[in-house]
Every structure is written in C-alpha cells, then in structure tokens.
Amino acid sequence: MKLLAAVTVPRVKPRKKRWPRVIGIIVLIIVLLIACAGGYAYWLVNKSLPVIKGELKISGLEKEVTVWRDDAGVPHIEAQSEHDLYIAQGYVTAQDRIFQMDLSRRQASGQLSEVVGAKAIDRDKFFRSFGLRRAAEASLGAYSEESKQVLEWYAQGVNNYIHQAEGTKSLPIEFTILGYHPADWQPIDSLTIGKYMAYDLAGNWEGQAFRYAMAQKLSPEKLQSLMPTYPKDGATIIQALKEHPVDLTELAATAVTPDPFNGSNNWVVSGAKSASGKPMLANDPHLGLDTPSIWYETHLTAPGLNVSGVIFAGVPGIILGHNDTIAWGVTNLGPDVQDLYIEKRNPENPNQFEYMGKWEDAKIYKEEIKVKGEAPVPYDVVVTRHGPIISEFAKDQQQDTALSMRWTALDATTELEAIQMFAKARNWEDFKKSLEYFDAPAQNFVFASQDGTIAYRGNGRIPIRKNGDGSVPVPGWTDEYEWTGYIPWDELPTTVNPKEEFIATANNKVIDDSYPYHLTDSWAEPYREERIQQVLSSKDKLTVEDMQKLQFDRNNLQAEEFLDGLVARIKDSPDLRPVDQEALALLQSWNKVNDPDQAAPLAYELWMQSFDDVLFKPDINDDMMKLFNNKSIVKDEMLRKALQGEKEAWIDEKGGLEKAALQAFQAAVDRAVSLQGKHPDKWRWGQFHEVDFPHPLGSVKPLNLIFNAKSVPMGGGRVTVGAAGWDSATGEVNHGAPWRTVIDMIDPARSYNVVGPGQSGHVLSKWYHDQVSDWTTGHYHMTSIVPAIYRSAGNELKLIPE
C-alpha cells in the first residue's frame, strides 16, 4: 500500500464531454430510420397507384377496351360491346376506389367488425337487423337476365383488379394498415350498396320511434307540437303507444341514423327561358362529404350506348347524368315508406308475436358476426310478418312489446334495371318507361331533352295504408294498419312542359291538397326551393353561369324570415351584456348571406342551434335527439307561431319567446367567444365552418394528416341552396353536394361538373383532393363525350384480352 502510495501519477488533462456528439448521432440515426420508413411507406403507397397508361391484360375481355382519363381524372371507357364495357367499368372503378367499395359493402352487410374490431359490433347488428343484404338477395331474382349479366360482368372486372393487385402486392395502403385483403366481388355486393343508399334516403322510421318515446313522457299538448300532423285516429294510436311501452334507450344510443338533411336540389328550365334556346338542367344531390366522394364520375361508350355522369362506386352503369340526347337528375322525394309496428310478444315463446288473436312464429335468421382479434359473435335476427324487429338490436331485451319495421326497400326492387334503361333513353317517353323499374328510394326526377321537353316525376313505390299516416308506430297485432297496396304508377306526381317554363325541387312539398294519396307530412324546410324559385323567376333568359352561381348561392331565407323578429324581441333587454350588444349590432346590419368571411352568420347559426337546448332539454336527451329527424321543421314552426303571437307550449314553459330567445342568444355568444374571442367584429363564419373531407381512417390521428384534405373555410349552411351542413359540436362541414352538374342541351355532349374532393381514392394520386378548391369556390370542370376532347389529356390505357 505504501509503495503504491509513493508512486507519482502524472496529471492527465480532462477530455471534453462527448454527449452532444452522441446525441447528434442518435438523432441522425432516428432521422434516417424515419426517412427509410417514410421512403418505404411512400414506395408502398406509390406502388398501388392505378396504371393509367400503356397496356394491361384482363381476363374475360373479348376485344380491346380503351380507357382515357381526362384532366379531372374522369375515365372515358370505350368498348366494342357491353360485355367488355362493364368488365372494364368494374376494373377501372376498383383501380380508383376498391377500399371504398369494400367498406361500403361491409357496412351495408354488417361486416365491419371483421376488419376494424369489436367497436363496430353494434353497427353490424344494426344493419343485419335491417337486412339490407337479405333484401339485395331477394331483389336479384327479380332482375332480367340482361341486368344480371351486367352485374356479373362488372363483378368480373372488379375481381380482375383484386387478383392482379394481390399478385403484385399493390393493394391500396388502407388494406395494409387494417391488415386484410378484400374478398372477391359478387353481384349481390352491388345491389347491397344500392339498398344502403335507399336506407340513407328513407329516414322516417327514426321519427316514428322518437315520437313513440315522447308519447310515454310528454303531455298531449307538447307531443302534438312534435308531430308533423296529428293523426286522424290519433287518440286511438297515442293510447296504444302509452299502453304498450318499449324501452328505446339502447336504440337511441346506438342506432345509425341517416342525416336528416339528406336531400338535394334540382331544376330544369325550358328553351324559352334559356339563353341558348334549349333546355338546361342542374342537379346537386346532398349527401355526406368524405374522402373519396360518394360519387364516381364516369363516361361509358359502346355500340348503342354513350352515357356520362356519376354512379356509386361498386355499382355498374350511370345513375345520374346525360347521354347525347337527354339529361336527368334527382332529389329525394322523402315519402313515408317505412312503418314501425308495435308487436306483442308471447310471454311463453319470445319468437312468437300476436296477430288477429293468434300467436305467429317469427322467422329467425341466425347470423355470425366475425370480429377481428376476437371470437365470432352469434346474433339472431327476428323477423315478423311486418319486418325485422329493430328495437332490440343493441341489447337482447326481449321485452313484452317490440318494434318491427316494414319498408318498401326490403322487398324485391329493380333499380339497376332502370339505370340500364336511362342510358339508352332517347326522349321523355323512353325515360318515363324506365322509371317503372325504379322503386326505392323514391325520388324527384327532373328531365331535359334536346327536343325541348322538360319534365318532372315523383317516382317510387309508395304504400297506401288502410289506416294511419306513417307519423307514429301502429298496432301490429291487428290488420287495421296494414298496407293495402301502392300508389298506382300512372298516378304518381308528374309535370311536363309547365307554363312557368321551369321546374324546381329541393325536397319541398311537391303536391297540393287535391292530390288523392298520402306521400308524407314531413317535407323539408322550404327555404332552398323558395330561393331557387326567386332566382329562376327573376330573369327572362338564363345561362349556364347563372345555374352554376345558383348552385353555390348562400342567401339565407330562414334568416330573412326569423332574424328581424327575434332581434326585436331581445334588443331592448336590460340583461344584454356589452358583447351581446356588439353581436346584435352585427346581426342587424347583416345582409343575410352566409359568407365565410363574415361574423354575423356565426352568431346567427349558433343562435338557432342554441334554441335546441333551450327549448327541448331536459325532456329530450342527446341520444334521443338523434332520432328527432324533423327537429328543424318543428323548431321553425314553434318560432313562427310564437312570433305571430300564438301559444306554443314548449316556448311558453320557458317563460315566453323573449326569455327563450335571450337565453339562446347569450348561449350562442358565449360559445362564439370561447371559439374566436371576445371581439365579435373579428369572428368569422368560415373559421368555424370548415370542410376537410374526412377519410374513414382519418379519425385515427395522425392519419388525418395523411388522408384528410386540408381544412378550408366554407360558406353556406343547412338551409342555403349552396348546402353546407355542419357538425353541431365541431362546426365541421360534413354534408352537402359532393357532385354538382349543369348541362345545356344546346350541346348535350358537354356537362359542367365538380366532384368534391376528387375522383381518386389513392392518397398519392393527383386526382385525390384536386377538386377541393373548385368545390369550395363554385368552379367546375367540363366533361365531354366527344373523343377528340377527352383524348387530348393523353392518359390512354388499353385493356387487352388475356
């Protein structure tokens, strides 16, 4: 130890710390790993982009097919036979939209849990209860052999794409993220998607269920205010509702309800009112706003067939559009085609229900719901003589009383037959004949022809009831409320070449009191149709540009009806705060146009929304509010009556209109302050009211940054012609016209269109979100069926028989 201590140890200069260098190396490695991962991900996504140039071999083709994609990504498919045309349409649509197609058929069939897991089980149960796929299977047998062939050819084309993409490992990235491959396409898949669209546009079952629940807890006076009209035999029916209660808590909490604003605008003007001297047609169907669009624009040509327009991805043909002679468009007619029946269950046998004094066996469909990562879930669907039991899908309650649903679309229907005939129709008589096959959903068709004809037809299978009017559920244990048939086809509402020289519909009332049949008592609010009428009446000669401007119109006629009266009721209140007074001043000077860069629309729209809470809570909770599908119409009528000095129970019990309006206004101001600050002059409608076209995977962050469009301020609102419905909680614009079209029959080969957000479902495609700017600013692309024009884009793909 001493020797060791005596040794002199030389002093060593300390070395500099190396941590910064080490950290830098680590960061560099991480960056490289991220770059590699990003590069691999980019390569993987890029690999799945559709081949749009060159040649591809396709099995089943008889001759070569050429596909030209124009500057907007619209495929123009040239075939030498319909056989090859529909194989090619299936292939090309799958190239752009296969993930959307697969999710669509899964949702409609109740098969989402298989790929997204247990969180979708209730949704799957819901759609299996409704039985859209069973209805599609029933419908297939009603089709002609020719239409069945079209479905088969289309499925063959889709499967060609699926098999090729699997072989080259080039399926879209969404399948990799979710970890599955799509099954082969079947003709029944196309029909099931069609049934889902009928479901999305039907929407009166939930109103019946809502009023059924309200009948258990509200006074007759308050219940009557929620009714579209009081039933003729209302006392009897209301008593039945109260005597046979059903717990709808689970139904309200988990039901998948259509958007109550699903609708549309369409109009036609005659040559006498058009600058060109020929009819013009405009159509903008209102549905959800997503990535990709629900609509897929396509041009199909084969011997005897030359048609352009849009179709739902997964369905062959063109449902809305034009050929070289005629054009057509639709809005939702919205008749009462769904009835809920109150069914009495046998206490000794839960699968039997009373009818005419006897117990009848229900049909039991034993379903198995596959669940990703978990064991399958067995599920029994119970179907009575009236239809499936829907009140128990979320929980097997087996109550003494249940609700079943009868619906026209659950019967065999043949819409695809009609679609094939639309394409080849040459005049109004041809087109009208094709409508004999279009049963569900019931639609308002408008029509224009190069021969000068304009026409309207409210078309679909609409029931005639022995009793009842479709406003509330009716007793199912008796034959007193059965359907006795359907409105005769030749007595459906029809107008040809009216003296007004134009026809317009916007889900408004399309009949007068002389019409002998019941359609519905729940028409849409009148403001869009009134504004369209104003504009079309205001000019002697209208142009394509006028039609486009009207489709984007943001004038708020609801505000014109209510705002001044509501402001007058609160402007002298001593309870107004300084910020309230500033907001009120903005409203008083507002031009009643929902421009995105104005403050007043934010104050007005939040005010109208706040009335929901002030008037209806706590009687109606958030879950039950989802079933309140005519809420906007009911609320308008309550305010209308109160402004006219009439008694209204819901408003009177809140202390009268002045008190209710002030409470709603101050709640709106408080929310606006929380969103955009305490200076009303700096508020902006478009800062709250933005559209981002969400992708199904965009709900999982940070995938929204990859798949969703960049949020864009949007004008308009729920009641403007330029429809832009929004989520009440977030302001996100989630509803409107994914497709707008205008056509002047002076040149029926051309149409002016916009598909928001774009044609492609592939995130790296140049046509993925390329139409967002046009869609949000009211611009259009021109689509032509003249070869020289669309071929000029140069994107030529030849599909060669294998």
Tell me whether the omega of the peptide bond preceding residue 574 falls within 30 degrees of 0, making it cis. no
Tell me whether the omega of the peptide bond preceding residue 618 falls within 30 degrees of 0, making it cis. yes
How remote is the C-alpha of 12 from its chain's centroid?
77
Tell me 60's DSSP state. T
Pair 596, 684: CB distance under 8 Å: yes
| Residue 644: other Cβ atoms inside 10 A | 9
Q: Examine the residue annotation and report whether 264 is marked as an active-site residue of this protein.
A: yes
* Lookup: tokens for 687: 């800062």
Q: Measured between alpha carbons, how far is 14 from 157 in angstroms, rounded to an integer?
A: 74
Which residues, at least 6 apart from 364, have a Cβ–Cβ distance to it below 8 Å? 351, 380, 381, 382, 383
Q: Measured between alpha carbons, how far is 61 from 82 in angstroms, rounded to an integer?
A: 11
Q: Measured between alpha carbons, how far is 306 from 784 in angstroms, rounded to an integer?
A: 11
Distance between first and last Cα of the chain: 92
Beta strands of 270-417 (E only): which ranges? 280-288, 295-302, 305-312, 320-323, 326-332, 338-346, 349-355, 358-361, 363-371, 374-383, 401-407
Q: Collapsing DSSP states into helix, strand and coil, what is residue 291?
A: coil
361 annotated to a ligand binding site: no
* Lookup: tokens for 206: 């939930």
Q: Measured between alpha carbons, how far is 725 from 203 in angstroms, rounded to an integer?
A: 17
| Residue 360: other Cβ atoms inside 10 A | 15
Burial of 37 (0-12, 13-18, 19+ CB in 10 A): exposed
Which helix (H) or strand (E) covers residue 89, if one does?
Answer: helix 82-109
Catalytic residue among 264, 308, 610, 784: 264
CA dihedral 627, 628, 630, 633 (to 10 degrees): -160
Q: Measured between alpha carbons, how far is 490 from 736 in angstroms, rounded to an integer?
A: 32
Crossing angle for the helix pair 557-570 and 600-616, nearest 10 degrees? 70
Q: Measured between alpha carbons, how far is 233 from 447 in angstroms, rounded to an integer?
A: 39
SS3 sequence, 557-613?
Answer: HHHHHHHHHHHHHHCCCCCCCHHHHHHHHHHHCCCCECCCCCCHHHHHHHHHHHHHH
Q: Measured between alpha carbons, how far is 44 from 49 in angstroms, rounded to an integer?
A: 9
84 annotated to a ligand binding site: no
Longest dimension (CA), the chain: 124
The two beta strands, 733-736 and 463-465, are: unpaired
* Lookup: tokens for 658: 């002045």
Q: Measured between alpha carbons, how far is 455 from 430 in angstroms, rounded to an integer?
A: 13
Residues annotated as catalytic (active site), given as ranges: 264
Question: Known binding site: residues?
Answer: 336, 339
Question: Known binding site for Ca(2+): residues?
Answer: 336, 339
